[in-house]
Structures are given as structure tokens and as C-alpha cells.
Amino acid sequence: MLFTREFDYALRILRRLSAQKVVSIGNIVQCEHLTRAIAYKVARKLNQGGLIGSQRGTSGGYLLSRGLGEISLYDVFRVIEPETMITECMLDGYTCPMNNAEKPCSMHCAFVTIQERLFRELQQLSLEDILGSQHVPEA
């Protein structure tokens, strides 16, 4: 599994929103050095996933829907990449001739263990853990 550009953008958008106030997409794009089109797409996913809220109007924008300590890296990852696994053989419905109930594939078993460890690590790290008391400067 690779952390995609969208995942990176999501983390940078959330960092910009960590001041717990409404921030425009223009401000986010400028301060975090993001492309506008992908930033809108990622913000929409974060909004639909319940991690951020949106406010319309001339002073509108986005804001966190929960505190930084309540959002784990796993939460962000699952909103942005809900179907991603470290290898496609782990996806639901994938049939591999080398992996079956009578003779499990040793590589598949190893990948399952790695995936579980990675997800556990992502679940244990909140945005607050990563950002700490990092001050996000005003734009």
C-alpha cells in the first residue's frame, strides 16, 4: 500500500483546519501548496466521511467536525482510501489460485499480518499525536 497524494492532501487540509475555525479552500490551497482541483475533491471526501464540516457563504469554508485527538490516521485513511489494501489479493471477492482453504498461500498470510499491524498503528495515532501543539500560522 502506498499513501496516495489524496491521503497526503487530506492530512495537509486537516492540519490547516487544526486551528478549529472556518478556513476557505483558497486559503488551504495557498498555505499548504495544494492544487485546487484535488483539494476540492479531497475536502469533499473528508466532508462526506464526517471528518470536516462545510460552511457556505462569503465567509464560508471548512472546519473540523471533531477535535484532533478524536481523529486517527486510520480514520483519514479509510475516508480517503476505503478499498485500499497492501496487495490486491486481500480485497473482498479476489480469487487467487495460489490461496485456498486447503493450502493457504504463505505470502497472503504474511500480508494479512502486515496489514493488521499497519492498521493498528494508524488507529493508535491521532492527528493531535502528529501535529502536537504545532502552531498553524494565519494566512
Is residue 138 domain-resident?
no
pLDDT tens digits for range 71-86: 999 999 999 998 888 8
CATH number of the structural domain spanning residue 115: 1.10.10.10
Residue 51: name the closest of 26, 32, 23, 79 by CA: 79
Euclidean distance between CA atoms 77 and 69, whole angstroms = 16
pLDDT top residue among 96 and 33: 33
Three cell numbers written together for 13: 487540509
Domain that holds residue 91: 5-131
Is residue 40 domain-resident?
yes
Is residue 136 domain-resident?
no
- CB-based contacts of 67: which residues, under 8 Å, 6+ apart? 20, 128
- Looking at the structure of the chain, the number of domains it has is 1
pTM: 0.85
The whole-number average pLDDT for the span 59-80 is 94
Is residue 98 domain-resident?
yes
Position 12 scores a pLDDT of 95
Torsion angle of the four alpha carbons 114, 2, 63, 122, in this order, in degrees rounded to the nearest 10? 10
pLDDT at 137 over 60: no
From the centroid of its chain, how far is CA 37? 17
- CB-based contacts of 9: which residues, under 8 Å, 6+ apart? 32, 34, 38, 39, 42
Euclidean distance between CA atoms 34 and 38, whole angstroms = 8
